[in-house]
Amino acid sequence: MPTRTTIVVDQDGGIDDALALILMARTPGIEIAGVGSVHGNVTAETAASNSLRALELAGNHTTPVAVGAAEPLAQPLHLAHPEDLLGKLAGTPKRAPAPEETAAEQLVRLAHEHAGEIDLLTLGPLTNIALALRTEPDLPRLLRRVVSMAGAVTVKGNISEHAESNVWHDPEAAAEVTAAGFDLTLVPLDVTRKATVTRLWLERLATDQDRLRGRVAAMLLTAPGKLPAFPLHDPLAGAILLDPTIATYRHSPITVDLTDHHRGQTCATETDLAPPVAVVTGADTSALLDQLLQALLQRPR
């Protein structure tokens, strides 16, 4: 791994997006050149505010955040969590998003400024990436690699029987991005569903009661009944970007179904007419939990 890795994060404002951002911001040798927001969990504007909140919690007060696509390319807007739990927990950020460019414009600019050096981490619908690709068809060659939390290849979806949420929110964008020829790693529900927090992990986090994350962990531990499942979808994608060796892969072209019945379904195919994608088939979730705990317990620099 290079001594300094430059990344751009595209996210849709959920709690696990925030955890992934904190992980990236707290990892030595990682420079976050920009963050983009997109519709998905919440509106693009709210997702931008939530990323600013997450960066501030991590001690990052300089990375520019750009508001991205407010709606999908070809279907009505649907928000998964419009109640915005993260915003209610974390309060108002001190900074505002950068007004001068959209998330897609920011990505294209940074890709040119750091040609061949940027790793892109996508944690939400792929609308911004598709828009950037339409503006700059050479984007797959300008970016070093792309790691996307997206898809459900051999398992059922989490928003419909067939589709994972990030793909379902904008299947046309996902289809364009997976076919574009990026050095693309797909981190699907097949593996992220297995990356869940444990009681011991929460107990270690709850020792830090003077900060929000410790209080939230303590609250989860005192909830009646069985410990609620909390899959770390987005942090796992971030951990795999940081250390690809924690995962195993199958290389296969990916198609995205755009028909009504199976809309948003991602399928691994055997065709040689589409570029291969590195699909994660297994991951060391204990490595993720260790990395994330260290990042969360670390005091801001």
- Rounded to whole angstroms, the Cα distance separating 38 from 87 reads 16
- 243 burial type by CB count under 10 A (0-12 exposed, 13-18 middle, 19+ buried): middle
Each residue's pLDDT tens digit, 158-203: 999 999 999 999 999 999 999 999 999 999 999 999 998 888 888 8
Q: Which two tokens stand for residue 56?
A: 């501030």
Q: What's the pLDDT at 1?
A: 41
Q: What are phi and psi of 90, to 5 degrees?
A: -100, -15
Q: What's the pLDDT at 32?
A: 98
The single residue of 81, 233, 251, 262 carrying the catalytic annotation is: 233
Q: Which of 106, 171, 184, 103 has the alpha carbon at shortest distance from 140?
A: 184
Answer yes or no: 233 catalytic: yes
Domain boundaries, the chain: 5-189+238-283
Q: Using a pLDDT cut of 90, give the percent of the chain over it.
A: 76
pTM: 0.94
Each residue's pLDDT tens digit, 201-221: 888 878 876 566 666 777 667
Q: Looking at the domain 5-189+238-283, which fold is it?
A: Inosine-uridine Nucleoside N-ribohydrolase; Chain A (3.90.245)
Listed in sequence order, the DSSP H helices in 8-126 are 15-25, 44-57, 85-90, 103-113
For CA atoms 167, 171, 173, 178, give the dihedral sign.
positive
